[in-house]
Amino acid sequence: MNNAFIIQEDTLSDESPKDNQPELRARAEVLTDIIEALVNVASSSYWTVLSKYVFDVDLDKAKRSLVKSNDTTEMFRLQGEIRVGEKFSLENLLTKYRNELQTIRKKINE
């Protein structure tokens, strides 16, 4: 005999539904600031300098070290470093934050 449906949903919820609109609005403001900052950084020449002389160099060093490495722990560390280095781009960050902001705005407007 299945007694799973004996207790009705109405008897379990004694508290009213939580209004999460203020948290959503606060997160939307933060995301807007982040997106604005990323757009400004991406449009400046500073990002291309950093990408060319810092991020790309570190990524190439990690790839070369991975080829030479014999230690499995070091190989896993380098693979993670390469994965993060290849995934990190301003365009990807902008897309991620814009999608999150759109989702939050849809929830606010419901």
- 20-72 residue pLDDT tens: 888 999 999 999 999 999 899 888 888 888 888 878 888 899 999 999 988 88
Q: Is residue 86 part of a domain?
A: yes
The whole domain housing 54 covers 19-109
Round to whole Å and give the CA distance between 31 and 45. Answer: 23
pTM: 0.60
The residue with tokens 């604005």 is 36
Q: Is residue 72 part of a domain?
A: yes
Q: Say if 14 falls within a structural domain.
A: no
What distance in Å separates the CA atoms of residue 36 and residue 46, rounded to the nearest whole number?
16
Longest CA pairwise span in the chain (Å): 70
Give the pLDDT confidence score for residue 2 in this predicted structure.
62
| Average pLDDT value over all residues in the chain | 83
Instruction: Report how many domains make up the chain.
Output: 1
Contact 86, 59 (CB under 8 A): yes
Residue 64: inside a domain: yes
Q: φ and ψ at 20, to 5 degrees? A: -105, 15
